[in-house]
Amino acid sequence: MIKSDNKYFLQKNYVMKWYEVDYLGILKPASLLNYLQDIATASADKIGFGTDFTIPRNYAWFLIKYHMEFSEYPKNFDEVTLKTEARGCSKILAFRDFELWNKEKCIGRISSQWMMINLEDKKFLPLSKMNIMPEVEQREDDLRFTKVVQLEEYDSEKEFEIRYDDLDINRHVNNANYIVWAFETIEKDFRSTHKLKTLDLVYKKEVTYGHNVISKIKIDNLKTHHLLTNKDTGESLCIIDAQWEEL
């Protein structure tokens, strides 16, 4: 679990606005990803390796993967509380944990991995040598990242054109957009009767304006496997596994 007695901890409340939930009152996965990005950015700024550190040096944080487990996915909540702790680094990887709370109850735990990239030469930086955070130490109750693999075959696919509004400050598609494209391949009847239990995302490569994205899906009972690729280059952009349960 997250420890709050250190400078690497931060907590924020988020009012769930009407445009951040679906017509059933369920928090959209993209909204949750935006919450995570927001508090991670605020935490990095507070600690000293946020935008004031990265922008002058032409550096940027690059999200590698998420693993999420929910005991209760947000539905018909007025607000949620997010807690985060920057856990430390190991070589080129940085680790950050999150907890999702509904009032006094923890309803979700999330682990993530990040890298810092030099935008000039596209090389990842040796975080453990930069003295911006301590070496990560494992805890007994740490979440374990699930291995997410790219499948050979998928059931169906959809194509999406990247819009100007999909881009973030780094001129790449914002990471929350990937989940929108992935889940758009799921039938409405399934989405309207199920909620997320676990979610794994592995970000492979950035994509920019002017390209099209192919979103593929394979359904295995209550588990969906997703692959996003760049139509023009054939490169894999993101692999996602989602475990669902009935509402």
Task: Using the structure block, give the residue that is written with the tokens 């988020």.
Answer: 14
All structural domains of the chain, each given as residue ranges with its CATH number in brackets, are 1-137 (3.10.129.10), 146-247 (3.10.129.10)
pLDDT at 16: 95
What are 208-246's pLDDT values in tens digits?
899 999 999 999 999 999 999 999 999 999 999 999 999
pLDDT at 174: 87
Tokens representing 154? 């998928």
Question: What DSSP element (H or E) covers 246?
Answer: strand 236-246
Q: What percent of the chain has pLDDT over 70?
A: 100
What are 166-202's pLDDT values in tens digits?
888 777 888 899 999 999 999 999 999 999 999 999 9
What are 7-52's pLDDT values in tens digits?
999 999 999 999 999 999 999 999 999 999 999 999 999 999 999 9
Nearest to 86 by CA among 129, 128, 134: 134
Q: Cα dist. 97→39, 75, 102 in Å?
A: 11, 22, 17
The pLDDT mean for the chain works out to 94
CA dihedral 135, 118, 9, 138 (to 10 degrees): -30
The pTM of the full predicted model, rounded to 2 decimals, is 0.94
Task: Using the structure block, give the residue that is written with the tokens 């990937």.
Answer: 178
Tokens representing 8? 């690497």
Q: What percent of the chain has pLDDT over 90?
A: 85
